[in-house]
Amino acid sequence: MKVLVTGADGFIGSHLTESLLAEGYDVRALAQYNSFNYWGWLEDIQQTANLEIVCGDVRDPAYCREICKGIDVIFHLAALIAIPYSYIAPQSFIDTNIKGTLNICQAAKDWKVKRILVTSTSEVYGTAQYVPIDEKHPLQPQSPYSASKIGADAIAMSFYNAYQLPVTIVRPFNTYGPRQSARAVIPTIITQIANGNKEIKIGDTTPTRDFNYVKDICNGFILLAKCDKAIGETVNIGSNDEISIKELFALIKDIMHSDANLIVDEQRLRPEHSEVFRLRCDNTKIKELTGYEPQYALREGLEKTVEWFSDPRNLAKYKPGIYNI
């Protein structure tokens, strides 16, 4: 079976590419085009005969049509995801996240692709009105990023309703693990401690999140791709647990045997109405559809993540002294 992974050069996309290759899929992996022919995190994975890496941009409809030819299943992960950057460049998020999803859905429709899984985010829910958060929870656009993903989800589902495109909206809660972007809270904490910093700068420490190790999230994607009952559905992937950022910091400190202190950095705080204060996933639906069960407890996943970031070869790829928006 031939599958396409958009955003394959990114954090989750590169792990999903590895998982699909391990299961025997032929994978066409899309990396963002650049003049250096740099493949992002795909540079770090083993190259095999059943991996085809292509470089391009989901904002181009003709290119999307080209790369979807001959594909059975599409995993659409390509997106701009940095919430702070969405405050200063909202148009970019509309172009990539909404128009990019439209282009991929149109190409999938034209080529009669058998399945398409469109990646959403728990950010679309905003601060929880109730917990755990099921798929019927209201959507709240608390950032331009969140708004762009709400729009992208709506575009994808409209293709199911109007054209019977076999779409599943996959909504992962906060994913973490090796290769994650430095703008996320877990790499922010780990890289500063690994760099020898004694004062760890982060934003608000009171929000809670439902953190999920990246291999569990990838497993959820693959299970949903195999589940025909998931067609036309939106499905959460999460653990049904939560931890505050302050508690998370203490746990990472313990794992890394650190005596560092936490400092709230004002520039990292979200605008007053934009912070999402609570996220906790109701994973009943994915369990009922696929039998999904998370395999990694938070501490175990964090230990693996710390081990990866603590390798000097990996840490050198990050800039712990700089606030990445």
pLDDT for the residue 321? 83
Predicted pLDDT of residue 6? 99
Rounded to the nearest integer, the mean pLDDT of the chain is 97
DSSP 43: G
Q: Range of 183's domain? A: 177-209+241-280+296-315
Residue-wise pLDDT for 168-184, tens only, equals: 999 999 999 999 998 89
Confidence at 300, pLDDT banded by 50, 70, 90: very high
Residue 2 has pLDDT above 80, yes or no: yes
Query: Looking at the structure, do residues 182 and 272 belong to the same domain, yes or no?
Result: yes
Asked, for residue 288, whether it belongs to a domain, the answer is no
- Position 47 pLDDT exceeds 90: no
- What was the pLDDT predicted at 174? 98
Residues 137 and 199 in one domain: no
140 dihedral zone (left: phi>0; alpha: psi -120 to 50; beta): beta
The token pair that represents 44 in the structure block: 């770090």
Give pLDDT tens digits for 64-88: 999 999 999 999 999 999 999 999 9
What average pLDDT score do residues 253-260 get?
A: 98
pLDDT band at 293 (very low <50, low <70, confident <90, very high): very high
Residues 47 and 169 in one domain: yes
Single-letter residue type at 119: T
What is the b/e burial string over 52-88, where b = at least 16 CB atoms within 10 angstroms of the residue's CB? ebebbbbbeeebbbebbeebebbbbbbbbbbbbbbee
323 inside domain = no
Instruction: Tell me how far apart the alpha carbons of residues 69 and 110 are, in angstroms, rounded to a whole number.
Output: 9
Measured between alpha carbons, how far is 146 from 262 in angstroms, rounded to an integer?
A: 28
pLDDT value for 182: 87
CB count within 10 Å of CB 188 equals: 24
Say how many domains are in the chain: 2
Residue type, 48: T
Is the pTM value of this prediction over 0.95? yes
Burial 17-40 (b: 16+ CB within 10 A, else e): bbbbbeeebbbbbbbbeeeeeebb
Residues 80 and 97 in one domain: yes
Question: 73 with 216, same domain?
Answer: yes
Q: What is the pLDDT of residues 128-176, one digit of tens each?
A: 999 999 999 999 999 999 999 999 999 999 999 999 999 999 999 999 9
The proportion of the chain whose per-residue pLDDT surpasses 90, expressed as a percent, equals: 96
Looking at residue 183, its pLDDT comes to 86
Q: Which helix (H) or strand (E) segment is 156 a member of?
A: helix 144-163
186 and 303 in a single domain? The answer is yes
Output the domain CATH number for residue 311. Answer: 3.90.25.10
CATH code for the domain of 139 = 3.40.50.720
Check whether 276 has a pLDDT greater than 80. yes
Indicate whether 304 belongs to any domain. Answer: yes
Residue 291 lies in a domain: no
Mean pLDDT of 240-262: 98
Same domain? For 46 and 189 the reply is no
Predicted confidence at residue 301, as pLDDT, reads 98
Confidence of residue 210 (pLDDT cuts 50, 70, 90): very high
Is the pLDDT at 325 greater than 90? The verdict is no
Q: Is the pLDDT of residue 229 over 80?
A: yes
pLDDT at 324 over 90: no
Long-range contacts at 134-140 (CB < 8 A, ≥ 24 apart): 134/236, 134/282, 134/284, 134/285, 135/171, 135/233, 135/234, 135/235, 135/236, 135/282, 135/285
